[in-house]
Amino acid sequence: MALIWGGQVFNFTDFDFTLNKFRQLSNAVAKNYSTITMAEYLRSEKLPEKFALIRHDVDRMPENSLKTAHVESELGIKATYYFRASKNVFNCEVIKEISELGHEVGYHYEVLSEAGGNYKKAIALFEKHLNEFRCVCDVKTICMHGCPLSKYDNRDLWKTQSFGGFGILGEAYLSVDPNLNYFSDTGRCWNSRNRIRDFIPGNSESFSAKKTDELIELVQNKTLPNFYILIHPERWASTFFEWGLYYSMDFVVNLVKACLMKARQ
């Protein structure tokens, strides 16, 4: 597909943050690194010499996660998908299909924000949502949702509680080695410029990439012993219309985040 704008021809296949670009990244990972799920990472006594931990935060548009899950499955990649419990995201059919493809499914919790900072209410909500997930598939790991507009960091829930008491192996931010090489597509960029809470405590993030092609090059060079890559499936478009829509959404969200970060400073 091509788009003509201002006399110039733009090939959609060359755009960043498209399903085609996601396939290129996934193909590079599959060829150069062993992939493991979050649960496998936390259970493993000896990790592969070179491995990639691929995480997907399904914040909205759960149907998009099926597209990325199928691409990964075709390439032999095992990934971890964290779904929010909100009505428009908690799609049982999508969750089941992704789980049946061999991927791990976990709970993308935001209960402290939902409860307005009330820890007792937040724990009750967490247990309720977790039970709903476990009626669909086995859940062994969790990951907080950043909720940039909220003043609450959902990870703070575990300052007073233990997720182990709920049969949870670990939390995607709190339970991993801070020395993992973390790359996130938050803010439509692979560096930390547009992130408020999307970080691993203690992680220095000594490597970064602006475009996906730069990340692909890092993977292909096999310079790093590991990759921990966060991808939001709704961001990776299949059509020009989707790409324009997601680009506009990210632009607005990044603008709001920039204002919030400045105000909080």
Which residues pair with residue 35 across a beta bridge? Answer: 52
Which residues pair with residue 53 across a beta bridge? Answer: 36, 228
HEC per residue, 50-100:
CEEEEEEEECCCHHHHHHHHHHHHHCCCCCEEEECCCCCCCCHHHHHHHHH
Q: How many helices (H) and strands (E) does the chain have?
A: 8, 10
What confidence score (pLDDT) does residue 9 get? 45
Q: What is the mean pLDDT of the chain?
A: 90
Average pLDDT over residues 244-258: 74
Q: Give the model confidence (pLDDT) of 125-152 as tens digits.
A: 999 999 999 999 999 999 999 887 889 9
Within a 13 Å sphere around the CA of 82, how many CA atoms are in the beta-carbon half?
Answer: 26
What confidence score (pLDDT) does residue 14 get? 76
Q: Are 120 and 155 in contact (CB under 8 A)?
A: no
As a whole number of angstroms, the distance between CA 85 and CA 90 comes to 5
Q: Which two tokens stand for residue 14?
A: 């060359």
Average pLDDT over residues 237-242: 85
Band of residue 241 on the pLDDT scale cut at 50, 70, 90: confident
Q: Which two tokens stand for residue 130?
A: 């977790």
Band of residue 239 on the pLDDT scale cut at 50, 70, 90: confident
pLDDT at 2 over 80: no
Q: Are 118 and 154 in contact (CB under 8 A)?
A: no
179 or 6, which is more confident: 179
What confidence score (pLDDT) does residue 178 get? 94
Q: H or E element: which one contains 130?
A: helix 119-134
Tell me which DSSP letter residue 135 carries.
Answer: T
All domains of the chain in start order, with CATH: 34-264 (3.20.20.370)
CA 59 to chain centre: 9
Nearest to 84 by CA among 54, 129, 137, 125: 129
Give the alpha-carbon dihedral of 233, 243, 67, 144, to 10 degrees. Answer: 10
Residues sharing a CB contact under 8 Å with residue 146, sequence separation 6 or more, in sequence order: 154, 186, 196, 197, 198
As a whole number of angstroms, the distance between CA 242 and CA 247 comes to 8
Q: Give the model confidence (pLDDT) of 169-184 as tens digits.
A: 999 999 999 999 999 9
Band of residue 211 on the pLDDT scale cut at 50, 70, 90: very high
Q: Which two tokens stand for residue 247?
A: 């680009």
CA 5 to chain centre: 33
- Picking from 69-73, 79-83, 162-166, 254-258, which range would have the lowest pLDDT averaged per residue? 254-258
Average pLDDT over residues 160-172: 96
Task: List the end-to-end C-alpha distance of the chain, in Å, as a whole number.
Answer: 44
Q: Which two tokens stand for residue 7?
A: 């006399």
pLDDT at 41 over 70: yes
pLDDT at 82 over 60: yes
